[in-house]
Amino acid sequence: MTVQTSSPARVAGQPSLRQWLILGITAAAAAIVGVLIVQAAALAIWPEAALFRPLESYARSALFTLAPALIATGLLAWLARRSTDPTALFVRISLVALLLSFIPDYILPVPNRTLIASTIAAVLHVVAAAIIVPILVRGYRRMAV
C-alpha cells in the first residue's frame, strides 16, 4: 500500500514561492542601492532638499523602496497565475502606479516641500521602477520557461 502526501501543487511553468522570494529580494536590493545612490547625489547637489521629510532619511528611502518591490513581486506572481500575458499587464499597472506615486510628492502639505525636493522624490520613484520592473519581468520570463 502506498501513501500519498499532498503538498502545495505547483502549476507547470510557474515559479515556486522560493523563486518568487529570491526574485523579489533581488529586485528590492538592486532598487534600494540605485535609489540611495541617486538620493545621495541629489542631496549633495541640493542639500536643502534634505529638509523635505521624505528625503531626510536614507533608511526611510530604503524602506519605501523595499515595500513596493515586494508588493510588485506579489502582483506579478498573482498575475502570472491569472493572466495569459502577465508581463504586459504588469508593466501597464506599474506605469499607472508610478504616475500615481508622483501625486503625494507634489500636493501633500509637508513642511519644506519645494519644487526641487518634490522632483527629487519623484525621480527616486522613477529610479526604483526602472530597476524593479525589468528585473521582475526578465526574472519571471526566465523562470517560467
Domain ranges of the chain: 17-143
CA–CA distance, 102 with 34 (Å, rounded to integer): 18
DSSP assignment of the chain, as one string? -----------TTPPPHHHHHHHHHHHHHHHHHHHHHHHHHHHHH-GGGGGSGGGS-HHHHHHHHHHHHHHHHHHHHHHHHH-SSHHHHHHHHHHHHHHHHHHHHHHS--TT--HHHHHHHHHHHHHHHHHHHHHHHHHHHHHT-
Each residue's pLDDT tens digit in the chain (145 positions)?
454 444 444 445 789 999 999 999 999 999 999 999 999 999 999 999 999 999 999 999 999 999 999 999 999 999 999 999 999 999 999 999 999 999 999 998 989 999 999 999 999 999 999 999 999 999 999 998 8
What does the pLDDT read at residue 144? 87
CA–CA distance, 118 with 54 (Å, rounded to integer): 9
What does the pLDDT read at residue 10? 42
What does the pLDDT read at residue 5? 44
- The residue behind cell 506579489 is 74
What does the pLDDT read at residue 12? 55
What does the pLDDT read at residue 7? 40
What does the pLDDT read at residue 13? 72
**Single pTM value for the model:** 0.89
